[in-house]
Amino acid sequence: MLVLEAIVFLRHLKTLTMGKGQLGGPFFQALSECPLLTALTVNDASLGSGIQEATIKHGGLRELHIFKCRALRISVRCSQLQILSLRRTGMAHVSLNCPQLLELDFQSCHKLSDNAIRQAATACPLLAKLDMSSCSCVTDETLRDIGNSCPSLSALDASNCPNISFEVCVTLGSVYHVFDILHIVISRKIPDTYFWFWGSDMQSVKLPMLVDLRLLSCEGITSASMVAIAYSRLLEALQLDNCSLLTSVSLDLPHLKNMSLVHLRKFAELNLRSPVLSYIKVSRCSVLHRVSITSTTLQKLVLQKQESLSSLSLQCHNLIDVDLSDCESLTNAICEVFSDGGGCPKLRSLILDNCESLSIVELNSSSLVCLSLAGCRSMTCLRLSCPNLQHVNLDGCDHLKNAAFCPVGLESLNLGICPKLSILCIEAPNMSIMELKGCGVLSEASINCPRLTSLDASFCRAACG
């Protein structure tokens, strides 16, 4: 009652938020006393009175958010409404008369029937974004009707809708070309036959307008599915996490910017070409052994703990940072990738920590500034020709016997942590401090460091320079 009395004196109100309690017909009728109201939010309230329909009618409302409320029926009649969210609201039926509606959110409206969702969405011809995630009753027929009635639909979230198939979503996109963002996150299996169907008729099943595709926990996604995805030439973001049957990905997508490949138990090979790729996440892919990436935009690449990775090919002309820590299967051939002419001309930082299969590391790079080889216990030979190299980490390189730094930009160097070092060659014009203490088996040393001011060669048997 206090709210109703207050509204009469708030004719200039533009935004109103209500919560808890019972909001019946008189409250919503009183909203007409606020002609300037453009945004209304109602949280955790009971709407309507018993079996009566909760009717919201306002000529100027632009945004309406009804969150976690309870009602038997809701009717929204707002001629200027553009955004409507009924997220987590328990209702059996909803009626919409909102000709200007652009965004509609039904997320987790478990009581809404398939028919109710269909009627509501198809009544909004300008609809651009629709969220029906976790509405378990939604069917293929509803998706098909929405595609027919909403030609401007560009974003669809149909996550966790167990009664829909990927095939119908393909039909929607291929016939009407309407999905700029297709968000299908379905925990159930999607039969691979759907993707063969997708790729079998290239004239009718392409998705040329697709920008964002998310396929999380889709056990039916396999390498054959990539044929269909490859037709989406405008794709900018692709997420394939937890697709347990996916064994390889080979894609050439000119607009792809972001990609995620996480927890793929059978994923063994990645071949990706995209000039604008700026971010890629690869994690928990235990059998991944081959990676090939071509991009002119990618600046950072992290492939940590890919235990089976043995082959890496990069054509990334702006790549600056690479982290391959704990890639136990990397071979000596990896050095060619990061040397001059190997496809990464601007590389500045390279981390190869705990790459225990490396025995000979030979790098010739004019751009490399930082190098870490910590924990490379099998490395016996190190040859660096990196004139701009300023930092090198050799902690745990216990078996290093032969080392050449010619030339390097290092100002200081501690090789006392390499007890088996026997042959050393250094050409470092900026070197001022060198620590060789503890190199007890060092028998041959060639040192060309004109600025050297401090040298500790205690316990070294011989030093020649």
Q: What would the mean pLDDT of 97-107 be, rounded to a whole number?
A: 95
Percent of all residues in the chain with a pLDDT value above 90, rounded to a whole number: 57
Percent of all residues in the chain with a pLDDT value above 70, rounded to a whole number: 83
**In this predicted structure, what is the pLDDT of residue 167?**
42
Residue 63 in contact with residue 38, Cβ under 8 Å?
yes
Whose CA is closest to 198, among 228, 158, 220, 175? 228
CA pair distance 190, 442, nearest whole angstrom? 63
Q: Give the start-to-end residue ranges of the domains of the chain.
A: 1-164, 401-465
Q: What would the mean pLDDT of 356-379 be, rounded to a whole number?
A: 97
What's the predicted TM-score (pTM) here? 0.70
What is the residue whose two structure tokens read 């997708």? Answer: 198
**Helix, strand, coil shares of the chain as percentages rounded to 5?**
15, 30, 55
Q: What is the pLDDT of residues 17-61, one digit of tens each?
A: 988 888 888 888 888 888 899 999 999 999 987 667 889 999 999
**In this predicted structure, what is the pLDDT of residue 429?**
95
User: Which pLDDT band, with edges at 50, 70 and 90, does 134 fall under?
Assistant: confident
pLDDT of 433 > 60? The answer is yes
Neighbours of 258 (CB within 10 A): 17
Q: What would the mean pLDDT of 113-122 be, rounded to a whole number?
A: 94
pLDDT of 361 > 50? The answer is yes
What is the residue whose two structure tokens read 């039909």? Answer: 171
Question: Burial letters for 414-428: b for 16+ Cβ neighbours within 10 Å, e otherwise?
Answer: bbbbbeebbebbbbb
Q: Is 153 helix (H, G, I), strand (E, B) or coil?
A: coil
Residue scoring higher pLDDT (141 or 187): 141
What is the residue whose two structure tokens read 């963002």? Answer: 181
Looking at the chain, the number of H-run helices and the number of E-run strands are 8, 34
Of the ranges 61-65, 96-100, 191-195, 421-425, which one carries the lowest mean pLDDT score?
191-195
Q: What is the mean pLDDT of the chain?
A: 85
Bridge-partner residues for 43, per DSSP? 19, 67
Q: What is the pLDDT of residues 303-349, one digit of tens each?
A: 999 999 999 999 999 999 999 999 999 999 999 999 999 999 999 99
CA pair distance 157, 217, nearest whole angstrom? 15
pLDDT of 203 > 50? The answer is no
Residue 183 in contact with residue 164, Cβ under 8 Å?
no
| Superfamily designation of domain 1-164 | Ribonuclease Inhibitor (3.80.10.10)
CA pair distance 145, 451, nearest whole angstrom? 78
> For residue 28, what is the enclosing H or E element?
helix 25-30
DSSP E strand stretches across 118-268? 129-131, 155-157, 181-183, 212-214, 237-239, 248-252, 258-262
Could you tell me if residue 370 is left (phi over 0), alpha (psi between -120 and 50 degrees) or otherwise beta? beta
Token pair listed for 410: 């290092």
